[in-house]
Structure 1
Amino acid sequence: MNSDPRRVRLTAAGGPDVLRVEPMSVPEPGPGQLLVAAEAAGVAFNDISTREGLNPGPRPDVLGFDVVGHVEKVGAGVEDVVVGQRVGALVGVGGYATHVVVAAGRAAPLPEGRPAEELDALVLNYLTAWQMFHRVVEPAPGQAVLVLGAAGGVGSALCQIARAAGVEVYGTSSPARRARVEANGATWVADAAVVPVKVAATFDPVGGPSLARSRRATSRSGVVVSYGFSFATGAGYSRVGAMARTVGALVRAKLTPGARVAVHTVERVVDKDPAGFRADVTALVEQLEAGVLRPEVTVLPLDRAAEAHRRLQNREVQGKLVLVP
């Protein structure tokens, strides 16, 4: 295993080949920050849309939304984290590296003894699912929900969390992934149009034109939780075109009768309530250790980040995809 400090730099907007592995200098944490030696870094669809230039804002040098590792240094003013502690962190960008600077408020303590890649699945995928299910929707036992992309990282997490709460789950995926959806306790459906009941909530990572279909599958008093716009990845949209379709779908949902749409952004929730973020991660760890949650993780070396992007974008990965230095 290569132990030299290095990162995967995003050299331009484009396909996976724009990701280049290069040496790096180990950064110093500033006030309120931590330096984390990474054990694992997650790969998410948000990374793909950023790489393609679809997300708003400046292009980052390094992708990577979530990391797990040990704290090497703490910056001034950090009092609740110590050197050597294992943490999971939402960095937003910068995770594809051996050493990552993290805002202390976005780091949560994690236990020793469990594989870093398994814990990394909790930090973004399961955390996102937990927040949407327990903080946004809060369905009652016996109600039904619909999970789009139920074989993916967040979709799998939603199925497991919902079933643990006594909620009936319908999940969509390709036919090839049907067994994975059913293994997580969901009833497989080909798409939102064939769900046999009106559900209390639909969890939609596709966005854009998918929101109208999700609303039709959801009861008028229910909610569609929108947490991505994967419809645009690999589809040839410009940034302006992708955002126009996204905003247009949200406006139409606002102006037409039916289920309301709630847009969920995990970073916003964490920044608003860091203590709640840590409590959520603690709850997830407890359910993991109890065997309630069963993350499925695919692991690739950090130096194969471009391959990871190809596999995720081609829907060749079930569950969470993680890079390890």
Structure 2
Amino acid sequence: MHSTETEELVEVVLPGKVEPEGLRIRRGAVPAPGPGQVVIRMEATGVSFAEQQMRRGKYFDQPPFPFVPGYDLVGTVAATGEGVTPALTGTRVAAMVKIGGWASHVVVDAADAVPVPDGVDADRAETMVVNGITAWQMLHRTARVRAGQTVLVLGANGGVGSVLVQLARATGARVIGTASARHHQVLRDRGVTPVDHHTENIAARVRELAPGGVDAVFDHVGGPGIVDSWRLLAPGGTLVAYGTASTRDDEGSKQLPVLKLLARVWLWNALPNRRRARFYNIWAGRRNEARFRARLRADLTQVFEALRRGDITAQVAARLPLTEAAEALRLAESGTVAGKVVLHA
């Protein structure tokens, strides 16, 4: 086992429902890997919508406070445990962990570490882990979008949305995307028809652009607007709901908005119609561990290859030290940046 004894663990702790300034920095000994595990020396970890919800106590299945947030990370293998080939040491890998990524060193099962191809740096790879897997699986596994189809992406400039529109265009689909006006030129440059969700009636504008309806809608907003997303579908179309961003600042139960959405999806699918609704959860299927891991590895590998080929581009909004996580979180929540805010050790 490669040694990390001379290094120090630095991690960010979310102590409770706090403003970003309430995050704490904790230092200690670097953990040792157990059997089948590796220690990843973090090079880049991201600030996603999940962490924004977690600090409000609003993420659907977050653990009790206090805990170390951080949904995903990219880094190099610093130590290997029993049963893991020592040849992995020094390899750049990516991992999706849900919590624990905001740390200088992270222990993961070796089976969850996905190699990052040569030519893809840590920051760019980081923007594609949870966002890229989510976009790829929703597009290709859930909606099964094909060339020539028309799709609507809400929040087309967001972390998942920006990857989704690029993957959809690479597939040969026509893409309509909602975003603020300041992001429209970037969307046009990517071959996307933009709709301003602040000044335009989204449903009316999409009906103008696609009178027969769209083949897929990707909706992270949830709330009452999900009804419009359903009604915009063409016969045979698929609504993919994957969030409840509209309830971000609401008080009350963190489960209730998701349960309401799930109930609506169930009801729509129970009705006799030619459309379908799906609630996408990146962790679905985890009970079959081997299948889940194989699918995740295959899909993330496809995303990294698309990034390496130039089919998609990574947007790094800002890069800050791990110890400035509070500033990074506030920046990500400000809505003023395009792309993903990345933390580094």
Give the TM-score of the pair, scaled to structure 2. 0.86
Aligned-partner residue type, residue 247 of structure 2: A
**1:92 offset after TM fit, Å?**
1.0
Relative to structure 1, the CA distance from residue 236 to residue 275 in structure 2 (aligned partners, 3 Å threshold; closer, same or farther) is same
**1:276 offset after TM fit, Å?**
2.6
Contact 1:201 1:223 in 2 (8 A): yes
Pick the aligned partner of 1:214 from 229, 234, 245: 229
Which residue pairs with 2:247 in the alignment? 232
Residues 1:73 and 2:79 aligned together: yes
Residues of 2 paired with 1:57 and 1:230: CA distance?
A: 16
Contact 1:71 1:85 in 2 (8 A): yes
Residues 1:321 and 2:327 aligned together: no
1:219-260 deviation digits (Å, cap 9, x = unpaired): 242111112221222233442544454445435544556632
Pick the aligned partner of 1:152 from 158, 161, 172: 158
**1:263 offset after TM fit, Å?**
1.5
Residues of 2 paired with 1:220 and 1:162: CA distance?
A: 20
Q: How does 1:59-138 map to 2 (within 5 A)?
A: 59=64, 61-79=67-85, 82-138=88-144
Which residue pairs with 2:3 in the alignment? none
Relative to structure 1, the CA distance from residue 276 to residue 244 in structure 2 (aligned partners, 3 Å threshold; closer, same or farther) is closer
| Unpaired segments ≥5 residues, structure 1 | none
1:5-51 deviation digits (Å, cap 9, x = unpaired): 31110011233233112213211222332210000001110111122
Pick the aligned partner of 2:295 from 259, 276, 286: 276
Contact 1:14 1:53 in 2 (8 A): no
Relative to structure 1, the CA distance from residue 133 to residue 269 in structure 2 (aligned partners, 3 Å threshold; closer, same or farther) is farther
Contact 2:332 2:340 in 1 (8 A): no
Pick the aligned partner of 1:303 from 309, 323, 332: 323
Residues of 1 paired with 2:35 and 2:339: CA distance?
A: 35
Equivalent residue of 1:288, what SS?
helix
Pick the aligned partner of 1:173 from 155, 158, 179: 179
Residues of 2 paired with 1:318 and 1:257: CA distance?
A: 41
Pick the aligned partner of 1:56 from 58, 61, 67: 61
Residues 1:203 and 2:218 aligned together: yes
Residues of 2 paired with 1:136 and 1:158: CA distance?
A: 13
Contact 1:91 1:103 in 2 (8 A): no
Residues 1:44 and 2:55 aligned together: no
Aligned-partner residue type, residue 42 of structure 2: A
Equivalent residue of 2:238, what SS?
strand
Relative to structure 1, the CA distance from residue 103 to residue 81 in structure 2 (aligned partners, 3 Å threshold; closer, same or farther) is farther
Relative to structure 1, the CA distance from residue 13 to residue 246 in structure 2 (aligned partners, 3 Å threshold; closer, same or farther) is farther
Residues of 1 paired with 2:156 and 2:75: CA distance?
A: 28
Which residue pairs with 2:306 in the alignment? 287
| Unpaired segments ≥5 residues, structure 2 | 1-6
Relative to structure 1, the CA distance from residue 96 to residue 140 in structure 2 (aligned partners, 3 Å threshold; closer, same or farther) is same
Comparing 271-280 and 197-206, the one that deviates more: 271-280
Aligned-partner residue type, residue 236 of structure 1: E
Which residue pairs with 2:22 in the alignment? 18
Aligned-partner residue type, residue 308 of structure 1: A
Aligned length: 323
Residues of 2 paired with 1:205 and 1:18: CA distance?
A: 27
Contact 2:8 2:30 in 1 (8 A): no
CA RMSD in angstroms comes to 2.2
**1:307 offset after TM fit, Å?**
1.9
Comparing 263-272 and 38-47, the one that deviates more: 263-272
Q: How does 1:187-198 map to 2 (within 5 A)?
A: 187-191=193-197, 192-193=202-203, 194-195=205-206, 196-197=209-210, 198=213
Residues of 2 paired with 1:15 and 1:232: CA distance?
A: 18
Residues of 2 paired with 1:240 and 1:273: CA distance?
A: 24
1:119-150 deviation digits (Å, cap 9, x = unpaired): 11121112211111111112221110000100
Which residue pairs with 1:262 in the alignment? 278
Residues of 2 paired with 1:319 and 1:13: CA distance?
A: 25
Higher Rg: 2
Equivalent residue of 1:100, what SS?
strand
Comparing 196-205 and 218-227, the one that deviates more: 218-227
